[in-house]
Structure 1
Amino acid sequence: MLTINPVRSRPVLTSLERLIGPQRSDRLRKAAAEIQDQLRGGTLWHVNSTPTGGGVAEMLRTLLPLYDELGVRSRWAVVSGDDAFFRITKRLGVALYGSDGDGGPLGPAERDAYLSALAPAADQFVDHVDRRDVVILHDHQTAGMAPLLADRVASVHWRCHVGVDEPTDASERGWEFLADLLDAADSLIFSVADHVPARLRHRPVRIQPPFISPFDAKNVDLPADAVRACLAQCGLDPNGEPARSPLSVETAAGGVRLLSTPTVISDGGRQLGEPLITQVSRWDRLKDMAGVLTAVTDHVPVGHLALVGPDPDAIADDVEQGFWYADCLDRWRKLPPAQRRRVSLVSLPMADQTENALLVNAIQRASDVVVQKSLAEGFGLTVAEAMWKSRVVVGSAVGGIRAQITDGVDGYLLTDPADLRGLGRIITNTLSGAVDRQEIGARAHQRVRDDFLPDREVTTTASMLAPERMVTR
C-alpha cells in the first residue's frame, strides 16, 4: 500500500539564509536551479516507510517545504505493509546493523514475501509518476521498489541510513538479500563511508549525512518558562510542578498545544538541584537504553536519568519497540529503591508530531549531559539535535556518531559501547566540573551549523543529479 503524505508548508528559507550567510545562500539557490533544470518539469520524489517517527520522516518534513520555497517540485510517498512485512524489514534492518536480531531467516521465502508486499505500492506509485521524475528511496524497506520503477522514471536513487562499521555474518546476509535489487538504482547514497559494503563499492556511491532543521519545534530556541512547562508535562521538573493539560506553549516556530499526556514511569522523580542525564531514542536493542540505565545507576553517583522514547505502539515500521520498552521497565522495577528513584522512563505521545518534538526539545535543553550509547548507528540525529542546543553529548564511537563528534573537542566518544564503567566515568567527569561544559557546547553548536543544516542536503542532491554523474540506462 502507498500513500502520498502531505506536508504542511511553513516558510523557512529566509531564516535559513540569515543563519548560513550570503555565500552558502548563493550556493543553495544555484543548487536548487540546477535540480529544476535536471527535472525538466518533473518531480523529485522521496519514498520511505513511515510518515511519523524516525529521522527520515523528520528530515522530509523540513526538506519538502524548503524545496517548495526554492521552486523545486517535490513530493513524499509512504509505503506500508502488514505485520509480516515489517517483521521482515525489522529483521533486515537489524542485520544491516550487524546483528542477528530475532534469529529468524532472511531466505527466499522472506524475500518473496517482502517483494510481494512492495509490489502493490509500486503499482500505485506508477500512477503518480512520469518519465521526468527522480525518485529517492530511503532504506531497506523501500529498496525492492528500485527494479519496479527503473523504467518508469528518469532515475532512481537508493539512500541507506543504516550500516555497520565492520562486516559481520549477519550484515552479509542482509546485503545478500538486497544487493541485486539495487542493481536497478542509478546511484547509492550512504550516510557513512564505512557503511558501504564491499560488494557495492563498484557502483556510483555518494556520502551524504542527514541534517537537522533549526526552525522546527524539535530544535527552535525555547524560553525558560516553556522548558519548565514541558518538563512538568514529562514528570522531570525538579520543582515538582504538576503537569497541566491542555497547555499552550509559545515558541519561535509558533504556538504549540500540549494535549496528550506522556507515560511516565518514576518513583519520586527528579529532585531539586539534581543534574539531568538524558538519552532520547527509540526503544530498540541497538540504542541500548538498558545499558544506559545500568551504567548510570551503577557507575554515576549523582544525577537523574531520563530514558525518553516514543509511545512503543505508535511507529508502524518498528514492531519490536514494545519488547525493548518492557525490558527497560523490568530492569527499572528490579533496581534497589534508592537507584530506582534516580531513573524515569518517559514515553512520548506520537499523535501530534509538533507536540512530540517540543517535548524532546525541552528535555534536551534542560539536560546537563545527553547520551547516545548506540551499539550501532547510521547517523545520530539526536546527537546533532543536542549539539545544536549546545549540550555536552557522550556518544558511542560507532557509525555516523564518530563523524559528528570530535572527542574532547565538541563532545565525548565512548570507544567501546559495551564499556558501562567507561560511560559512567565520562558522565561523572563531565558533571563534576572537570570540563568546561559551556565551551564544549559552543563548539558542538558550531559543528552542526557548519555541516548538518538543510542547505547541505540541497547542494549535494544537485551534485548527485548533475549530468556527468547520471548513469545511462
Structure 2
Amino acid sequence: MRVIDPVPLRSDVLAAFFDLIGPDRAAEVRAAAARIVERLDGGTLWHVNSTARGGGVAEMLHLLVPLYRALGVSCRWAVVDGDDRFFDVTKKLGNSAYGSTDPGDRLDAGAVDGYLAHLDDEAGWFAELLGANDVLLPHDHQTAGLVPPLAAKVSAVHWRCHVGVDASTEGSEAAWAVMAPLLDDADGVVFSVAHHVPAELADHHFAVIPPVIWPYAPKNRPLADDAVRDLLDRCGLGPGPVPPYVVADGPRDPGVPLVAQVSRWDRLKDMHGVLMGIAGSASDAHLALVGPDPAAIPDDVDQARWFATCLEARRALPAPVRRRISLVCLPMDDLDDNAHLVNAVQRTADVVVQKSLAEGFGLTVTEAMWKARPVVGSAVGGISAQIDHGRNGLLLSDPHDLAGFADLVTGLTGDAVDGVALGTRAHEDVRRRYLPDGDVLAIAGLLAEEDRT
C-alpha cells in the first residue's frame, strides 16, 4: 500500500472553476465541503484504488483529492500494491463483473483466498494510518477485500464501483458471489450507473454518483493550434516522422477525416472491433487507435495480449486499408505529457468513438463531449446515460454490429449528420452534469444520509 500525493490545486485554478460554474453552483459546493468537514470532525476522507496511473479512476483521483483539499476537506489517497498473481485475479474478477463467461476468467477458491490474504496484509499496513473519524472510499473490485478488515477501524466505509453489466450473466453472478459478502460491513455502496447495482446488493444502502472530469486537467484544457500540431506529430498523426511507439505506414493524410478511439488495450474496449469495423467500411477516414504503452499499467495484465491482437489484425489488411489505420501506444512515464497527447488527438478527431462491449461509465466519452466532439458510443453502461442518441451523440444499439457501427461513423465523416450540433450540445451537457462540484455535493449527501439510516 502506498500513499499518493497529487499536485496541489492552485487557488487561481479553483477561482477559474468557480467562474466557470457560476456563483450559485460555487456557493453550493463550498457549503457541501463545509458539511463534509463537519461530518469528519477532524477525520480524513480516504480514497483507495489499485493504481496511481492509467485508467479513469486514477485520473479522477488526481483531480478530486486536490480539489477536496482546496475546499478545506482533509482528503488523502492510498493505492493497493500487488504482484502479477494478485492483478491476474482482480482482472478476472473485473471481467466477470462486466459479464464475461470466458472459462479463462473463472476463479477457483484458491485464487480468491490468495486475493483476500493479500488485501488482509495490505489492510494491516494501512490501518496504522487510519483514525476513528476517517471515512474510506475504496474503489472497485481490487479493493472489496479491504472492507472486512478495515470497517471497524473507521467511522464509515462507502465502497465505490465503476464496473457492471447491463444484464446479469453467469459470470457477473460469480463475481458478485465473491464480492457481495465482503461488503456486508460497508455503510453503503456507490455505483456509477443505477442499473449496475446487482441483485446481490439490492438490500444494501446504495447511491449513484457518476464520475467527473476536470476542465483544467492536461487532458481537457484548451490547446493552442501550434501545440496541437506538435502533439499530433508525436502521435504519428501529423506530417512529421512516425515515432517508434506508433504503428503506421507513414504520415496521415490530413485531407481525410480522423476517427479516434482512446482507451486501454482491453477486450471489453474492443479496439479490435473498431479496427475491423472501419477497415471493412467504404469510408476513407483515417482511424487512430490510441492506448497506453501495454507494459505500463501494472493492474491490467492483459494489455499486451490485446494490443498484439490489434497488431496482427492490422498486418493482415490490404496495404491501402492498412495505410489508413494507426496504432498509437502512448508513453506513460510522464502522465501530464500523456494527457496532452490524448487531448490533441481528441480535439483533432472529426469523430471520437467508444465501441465498448461493456462499460462502467466511459470517461473518454465525457472528455470528448467536453471538447464538443461528436461521439459514437455503444449503448452499454454509462455511455447510454451520457449520450442521448441524435441529440448530443450517436449510440450503437448492438456493440457487436460492425456494419452498423461503420454506418454511424460514416454518417458523421460524410456530413450526413450534423456533428457540430451534436458536439455543441454534448459540451453543455458535460458542463451541467459531469463537472466535479457534482461529486462534492454527492459525497456530502452520502455522508449526511448516514444519519438517517
Q: TM-score range by the shorter chain?
A: over 0.9
Query: The residue matched to 1:141 in structure 2 has which SS?
Result: coil
Matched, 1:301 2:301: no
Q: Which runs of 5+ in 2 are unaligned?
A: none
Contact 2:265 2:307 in 1 (8 A): yes
Which residue of the partner structure matches residue 388 of structure 1? 370
Contact 2:240 2:251 in 1 (8 A): no
Distance 1:38 1:457 in 2: 16
How far does residue 180 in structure 1 lie from its aligned partner after superposition? Answer: 0.4
Distance 1:335 1:295 in 2: 12
Distance 2:343 2:260 in 1: 12
Distance 1:262 1:345 in 2: 11
2:253 maps to a residue whose letter is Q
How far does residue 107 in structure 1 lie from its aligned partner after superposition? Answer: 3.0
Distance 1:457 1:400 in 2: 16
- Spell out the pairing of 1:286-325 with structure 2 (5 A cutoff): 286-325=268-307
Contact 2:4 2:79 in 1 (8 A): yes
- 1:444 pairs with one of 416, 426, 432: 426
Deviates more, 1:360-369 or 1:13-22: 13-22
Which residue of the partner structure matches residue 255 of structure 1? none
**58 and 262 in structure 1: CA distance in 2 versus 1, 3 angstrom threshold:** farther
Q: CA RMSD in A?
A: 1.1
**262 and 101 in structure 1: CA distance in 2 versus 1, 3 angstrom threshold:** farther
How far does residue 292 in structure 1 lie from its aligned partner after superposition? Answer: 0.4
Instruction: Provide runs of 4+ in structure 1 moved above 6 Å.
Output: none
TM-score by length of 2: 0.98
1:200 maps to a residue whose letter is L
Which residue of the partner structure matches residue 79 of structure 1? 80
Distance 1:17 1:452 in 2: 15
Which residue of the partner structure matches residue 264 of structure 2? 282
2:38 maps to a residue whose letter is D
Which residue of the partner structure matches residue 134 of structure 1? 135
Pairs aligned (count): 451
What per-residue deviation string (whole Å, max 9, x for no partner) do you get for residues 337-371 of structure 1?
A: 01000100000001111000000000000000000
Contact 1:300 1:427 in 2 (8 A): no
2:160 maps to a residue whose letter is R
1:290 maps to a residue whose letter is H
- Spell out the pairing of 1:329-340 with structure 2 (5 A cutoff): 329-340=311-322
**313 and 433 in structure 1: CA distance in 2 versus 1, 3 angstrom threshold:** same
Which residue of the partner structure matches residue 221 of structure 2? 220
Distance 2:302 2:246 in 1: 20
Contact 2:141 2:161 in 1 (8 A): yes
Contact 2:219 2:340 in 1 (8 A): yes
- Spell out the pairing of 1:120-199 with structure 2 (5 A cutoff): 120-199=121-200
Contact 2:135 2:157 in 1 (8 A): yes
Which residue of the partner structure matches residue 10 of structure 1? 9
Distance 1:416 1:274 in 2: 27
- 1:343 pairs with one of 313, 318, 325: 325
Matched, 1:90 2:91: yes
Q: Which runs of 5+ in 1 are unaligned?
A: 244-260
How far does residue 104 in structure 1 lie from its aligned partner after superposition? Answer: 4.3
Matched, 1:264 2:263: no
Which residue of the partner structure matches residue 380 of structure 2? 398
**283 and 357 in structure 1: CA distance in 2 versus 1, 3 angstrom threshold:** same
Matched, 1:413 2:395: yes
How far does residue 90 in structure 1 lie from its aligned partner after superposition? Answer: 0.2
What per-residue deviation string (whole Å, max 9, x for no partner) do you get for residues 110-158 of structure 1?
A: 2110011111210111010110100000000000000110110000110
1:77 maps to a residue whose letter is A
What per-residue deviation string (whole Å, max 9, x for no partner) do you get for residues 284-336 of structure 1?
A: 00000010001101114211000000000000000000000000000000000
Distance 1:419 1:62 in 2: 36
Distance 1:241 1:412 in 2: 33
Q: Percent identity?
A: 54
Distance 1:381 1:262 in 2: 28
**102 and 15 in structure 1: CA distance in 2 versus 1, 3 angstrom threshold:** farther
Contact 1:186 1:470 in 2 (8 A): no
Query: The residue matched to 2:398 in structure 1 has which SS?
Result: coil
TM-score by length of 1: 0.94
Distance 2:251 2:144 in 1: 44
